[in-house]
Amino acid sequence: MAVFTPVELSDISEWISADFDIGVASAVRGIQGGIENSNFFLDTNNERGPNEFVLTVFERLSAAQLPYYLELMRHLAEKGIPVPKPIANHAGAILFALKGKPAAIVSKLAGASCMQPSSAHCAMVGSMLAKMHLAGADFAQHQPNLRSLGWWRETVPAILPHLSDDQRSLLVDEMAFQEAFFASAAYRALPEGASHCDLFRDNVLFEGQGSAMRLGGFFDFYFAGTDKWLFDLAVTINDWCFLEGGALDSARMQALVNAYQSVRPLSPDELAGIAAMLRAAALRFWISRLWDFYLPRDAQMLTPHDPSHFERILRSRRQSAAGSIF
């Protein structure tokens, strides 16, 4: 868990009562998981009974960057996609300042994350991801994925001194491959739009069991950006369909991709590019985990993720022939 900016009930109770129509704040509790922002469950009470929201204090994103994420969530929620909906204050604003940092309050989704997903879980995720892409196709705002190639170029020199010779060779070689891929006509031809870019298992909720199971929603959109939809799909595959040792669970991947394609069929360019994009998605998270591991920030109860998991996934995808993906 990461809490970079502690928040107590006394810090927000008067603010909540004066500026919002969500009742009286009764409790605020830090949320386990996440290493980018300070997240809290916010409990309130009004004449209709108790309610739960999520309060986020943003540690890296600026107030100028945040409207994209918040307006995207509002856009998707209004189109029926199960995502947290930003709560507006009496003045209609959805972005605020708390302890000198940007902050937002969003609705809390029902359900729990599934860290050992089945093919059924993966199919639900694939289908909803495609629906989310289509729902966001007419989203008017544009912001690039801030953790894409430009950020990799800036970050890699800072982490290279911490790596072994073999890791440095891998990272430099893969960066060269991705530079060429991103510059290619095939990459430019890929369809793009609003993308989550971080749809890991801990950012998806499910409700119920067995035949009654349903997807509760997607959350944590604060890495979202306008990117290739194939990259979003590749990020999702790399987390939901790979085992701890880096091997691909083909049944889970097939379930996820088939369900995605039942809603939005992949183009021939996307089918041809999926192998390279799976490598790009693995590289992105290997770099960010190396950065958090070797150049950590101070935070209460912050434990960086193990970078070696995505190193193994990257090595696995580099060893696989392009035709072995499906």
| Residue 99: partners with Cβ closer than 8 Å, 6 or more residues away | 5, 7, 11, 57
What topology does CATH give the domain 9-107? Answer: Phosphorylase Kinase; domain 1 (3.30.200)
d(CA 236, CA 250): 14
Answer yes or no: are the C-beta atoms of 136 and 232 closer than 8 Å. Answer: no
Distances (CA, A) of 150 to 29, 147, 240, 313: 36, 7, 26, 22
Q: Is the pLDDT of residue 63 over 80?
A: yes
Q: Closest by alpha carbon to 39, among 260, 324, 300, 240? A: 300
Q: How far is CA 184 from the centre of its chain?
A: 26
Entry pTM:
0.92
Decide which of 300 and 11 is more confident: 11
Q: What pLDDT does 36 receive?
A: 77
Choose which CATH entry (3.40.50.720, 3.90.1200.10, 3.40.50.410, 3.40.50.300) describes domain 119-324. 3.90.1200.10
Confidence of residue 2 (pLDDT cuts 50, 70, 90): low
Element of type H or E holding 45: strand 37-46
Q: Which two tokens stand for residue 14?
A: 């008067």
113-164 residue pLDDT tens? 999 999 999 999 999 999 999 999 999 999 999 999 999 999 999 999 999 9
Encode pLDDT of 302-316 as tens digits: 567 889 999 999 999
Average pLDDT over residues 197-224: 95
Whether residue 206 contacts residue 168, with contact meaning beta carbons closer than 8 Å, is answered with no
Residue 241 tokens, joined: 């369909």
User: At residue 323, does pLDDT exceed 60?
Assistant: no
Interhelix angle 165-182/149-159, rounded to 10 degrees, is 160
Q: Given phi > 0 = left and psi -120 to 50 = alpha, else beta, which region is 220? A: left
Q: Where are the domains of the chain?
A: 9-107, 119-324
Q: How many CB atoms lie within 10 A of CB 262?
A: 12
- CA-derived radius of gyration, the chain: 20
Mean residue pLDDT across the chain: 93
